[in-house]
Chain A
Amino acid sequence: AQSVTQLDSHVSVSEGTPVLLRCNYSSSYSPSLFWYVQHPNKGLQLLLKYTSAATLVKGINGFEAEFKKSETSFHLTKPSAHMSDAAEYFCVVRSNTGNQFYFGTGTSLTVIP
């Protein structure tokens, strides 16, 4: 079975400091992993995806994530937080059949001015 665990429900950073949102996955095969962002009362927007290519994945808005098989992790990072980054972030793994997606419980990012 596939699953993801987001290790922090809330993360607070100061504007201009690095962001780290942690995600561990469980999968019996080579997984496809995604990070999404959700602003209040909006749909989810894809930030980046890992699909067995380069282990360091670059996404939109300066975010990137590194797939580490030995650690079963797919942490999301950004060198410098902006106020506009304040949102909910979801780590997602796709099922081995490809028809289902399993979501983490989300991490709420607060950016302090």
Chain B
Amino acid sequence: SQTIHQWPATLVQPVGSPLSLECTVEGTSNPNLYWYRQAAGRGLQLLFYSVGIGQISSEVPQNLSASRPQDRQFILSSKKLLLSDSGFYLCAWARPPTSGSSYEQYFGPGTRLTVT
């Protein structure tokens, strides 16, 4: 079966510090990978998605970046955090549309980031 991991679960960082959040998927290959942010009491905002190694699509211009160094690894980074970067960060994966099977998204447990 497939599983998705995110770490850390919680993080408190000062303004201006760097950020690195990691997401890994097990039990599948060539997944589409996604990073979302959820502000308090709000819906999900798509930040980045990737259809393959080194292929990143950015949905919202901001001080965040994403990388996919391996097939099942997706990393969200920032060089300098802003207060507005606080939120709940969710990683998700889905089978690519060419797989021929239904491809709902599967979500990780999330990372709660507080920027102080």
**Would B102 and A101 count as touching, CB distance under 8 A?**
no
Whether A41 contacts B112 in the complex (CB less than 8 A), given A100-B46, A101-B94, A104-B43, comes out as yes
**Would A98 and B88 count as touching, CB distance under 8 A?**
no
Q: Does A43 contact B (CB under 8 A)?
A: yes
| Band of interface residues on A | 20 to 34
Closest chain-A Cβ to B95's Cβ sits at a distance in Å of 9
The total of chain B residues at the interface (CB under 8 A) is 24
Contact of A32 among B34, B88, B102 (CB under 8 A): B102
**Would A100 and B49 count as touching, CB distance under 8 A?**
yes
Q: Does B81 contact A (CB under 8 A)?
A: no
In the complex the two chains form, what is the Cα distance from A51 to B102 in whole Å?
A: 7
**Would B102 and A103 count as touching, CB distance under 8 A?**
no
Residue of A nearest to B4 (CB): A43
**Would A103 and B109 count as touching, CB distance under 8 A?**
no
Residue of A nearest to B41 (CB): A108
Closest chain-B Cβ to A108's Cβ sits at a distance in Å of 9
Q: Which of A77-94 contact B (CB under 8 A)?
A: 90, 92, 94
Contact with A along B73-116 (1 / 0, CB 8 A): 00000000000000010101010110000111111111010000
CB contacts (< 8 Å) of A36 on chain B: these are 107
CB contacts (< 8 Å) of A98 on chain B: these are 96-97, 103
CB contacts (< 8 Å) of A104 on chain B: these are 43
Q: Does B51 contact A (CB under 8 A)?
A: yes
Q: Give me the interface of B with A, judged by CB distance under 8 Å.
A: 32, 34, 42-44, 46, 49, 51, 88, 90, 92, 94, 96-97, 102-110, 112
